[in-house]
Structure 1
Amino acid sequence: MHDLTGLEAPSLEDFDALAQEAYARLPRTFHELTGNIIIRIEDFPEDDVLREMKANEFDLLGLFQGTGLAHGEELAHTGMLPNMVFLYRRPILDYWAEHKETLGAVISHVLIHEIGHHFGLSDDDMERLERQVP
């Protein structure tokens, strides 16, 4: 039997490290598509996001905010914020506890799907990407 008394839930910082590692493992072509994207980790979505999405706090695992296109240097001239993907720690932990996937795999899946939908990737494209992630 394993002694689990010392285990703690992964922190926001742990999630950030996992997300950065997951993003780094994605193929170079995916990085070229996304450009400079910011990954933010929060415990839950903001209340205005929940209202807009008509969701409860555990419904959303992640959210993409941005234009859906990589604009690079154009952002500096237009004043637009860079593309961001939010990962929501508590809903992801809840999902992870109920499924037989590693936490890293769940985070990779959420990253790929939140970013991929906004860059026009099909579900087949995203499934292929997930299979390429070591």
Structure 2
Amino acid sequence: MTLPAPNSIAPPLELIEALARDAVLALPKPHRAAALQVALQVADFAPDYMLEAMGIESPYDLTGLYEGIPLTEKSVSDQPQQPDTVWLFRRAILEEWVERGDIGLADLVTHVVVHEFAHHFGWSDKDIATIDPCWE
């Protein structure tokens, strides 16, 4: 993956998606196959219904969201309602990247991806820390 030209305005949705897909492929082998079954969506901002449901006023405050039923809560008798989805919100990610100034964009996207997949897999903070060196 090549970075955008220096004269470009901001990394496009496609770059954020490519970085996110790279992060999924870098997950530990036992989790990678299951992670590839989760839909990955990238949008500029979270839709209003997501922000309202989470009580978030500014769309810049939500960098990612897992939508679905965590594997730890699923049952084989459950009827699928919708596909599990990890959402990434480009503008919020870029805002955090600029504000922090201490992390590369690929590392930040990986951090958001791992955090959202943690909800899917039911990982503890300790589990996340073994996968994501940026975890605090």
Structure 1 length-normalised TM: 0.82
Q: How much identity, in percent, do the aligned residues show?
A: 34
Bigger relative CO (Cα 8 Å, ≥ 6 apart): 1
RMSD (Å), alpha carbons: 2.4
Report the Cα distance in structure 2 between the residues aligned to 1:113 and 1:20, rounded to whole angstroms: 14
Superposed, 1:51-70 pairs within 5 Å as 51-55=52-56, 56-69=58-71
- Residue 110 of structure 1 aligns to a residue whose secondary structure is helix
Aligned to 1:42: 43
Aligned to 1:13: 14
Report the Cα distance in structure 2 between the residues aligned to 1:5 and 1:38, rounded to whole angstroms: 31
Aligned to 2:130: 128
- Residue 10 of structure 2 aligns to a residue whose secondary structure is coil
Aligned length: 125
- Specify every segment of 5 or more residues in structure 1 that has no aligned partner in the other structure, as ranges: none
Aligned to 2:24: 23
Which of structure 1's runs of 4+ aligned residues deviate more than 2 A?
Answer: 32-35, 77-80
Q: Note if contact 2:24-2:36 (Cα within 8 Å) is conserved in structure 1.
A: no
- Residue 7 of structure 1 aligns to a residue whose secondary structure is coil
Letter in 1 for 2:47: E
